[in-house]
Amino acid sequence: MRTPDSAARAPAAGQARFVHDPDGFARLVEGAQAAIGRLPGGVVGVAPHSLRAVTEGELAAVSRLGDGPVHIHIAEQTAEVDACLAWSGRRPVDWLLHHAEVDGRWCLVHATHMTAGETRALAASGAVAGLCPVTEANLGDGVFPGADYLAAGGRFGVGSDSNVRIDAAEELRLLEYSQRLTARARNVLAGGPGRSTGADLYRGALAGGAQALGVADDGLAEGAAADIVALDAGHPDLAGRSGDQILDSYVFAAGSGAVRDVWRFGRRVVAEGRHTARDAVEARYRTALAGLLA
Ligand SMILES: [Zn+2]
């Protein structure tokens, strides 16, 4: 899609292969909708990458393709905010909330740089903030206004974005620790005094993540998808822990090293801490990487 903040900046040579016109993009979405018929629980959403990648008309057209999730990266860095102010007179999140029908289908990825008014307005929209604390730290982007956003009832999920690390616990830990460092306070994102920060972070991200994916968050219930993560009860970081303390130890200490088994739609994909296709996946990864670096 063409760039917006100018309606004119041409894609760089390396970006050109990712660029589509709206008709071409609509065909891609149709093809994806046909292809997911073979996938259990498949959902098709659209992601017009960023405000820098679409015009207002393209954004409206793309967000009307299907009724799945709409994801957009926004307000990640201050230079983007400055550029948006220069071309539109509004900050990115403010611009989006005024020019698109942002609702519960939407996931605003990053949304790092918001005023207090934008923070409240995003929370009120029902959209999900798709936070990527590890990436945002790695890139030196800034800190999401988490305390104000949650106080306003905002919904959030976490994602890996740049894939520099893939670890759900690490994302949640860094989300909380970034708030502590800026607020000089503890347990900032817990839902109240005496509550488990790990459990509140985990459950909040689970609900917001499910919403952003366009799937139900039914938990362990009859008729629900058997999506289950089992932690290793013998992991030393979980010793002596019970109830929500287990989630505190998973988020703030053990991390992905404590994940023992994972079932997706009832199929065991991680067994004894190892993905069942690990050897084949790793071999293909090494081959692909060697080809890319050659
Ligand atoms: Zn991003």
Are 62 and 54 in contact, with CB atoms under 8 Å apart? Answer: yes
Residue range 176-201, pLDDT digits in tens = 999 999 999 999 999 999 999 999 99
Residue range 276-291, pLDDT digits in tens = 999 999 999 999 999 9
**Spatial distance between the Cα atoms of 269 and 276, rounded to a whole number of angstroms:** 5
Query: How remote is the CA of residue 158 from the centroid of ligand 1, in Å?
Result: 12
Q: Residue 3 pLDDT > 80, yes or no?
A: no
Backbone phi, psi, residue 254, to 5°:
-70, -45
| Stated pTM of the model | 0.92
Query: How remote is the CA of residue 108 from the centroid of ligand 1, in Å?
Result: 10
Query: How remote is the CA of residue 141 from the centroid of ligand 1, in Å?
Result: 10
Q: What is the mean pLDDT of residues 210-227?
A: 92
**Spatial distance between the Cα atoms of 208 and 71, rounded to a whole number of angstroms:** 13
Q: What are the residue numbers of the active site?
A: 110, 161
User: Predicted confidence band at 1 (pLDDT cuts at 50, 70, 90)?
Assistant: very low
Query: How remote is the CA of residue 142 from the centroid of ligand 1, in Å?
Result: 12
Q: What is the pLDDT of residue 24?
A: 87
**Spatial distance between the Cα atoms of 28 and 44, rounded to a whole number of angstroms:** 11
Residue range 31-79, pLDDT digits in tens = 999 999 888 889 999 998 888 778 888 899 999 998 999 999 999 999 9
Q: What is the pLDDT of residue 40?
A: 82
Domains of the chain (ranges, CATH numbers): 221-294 (2.30.40.10)
The upper half-sphere exposure of residue 278, i.e. CA atoms within 13 Å in the direction of its Cβ, equals: 9
Tracing tokens 């994302």 back to the chain, one arrives at 171
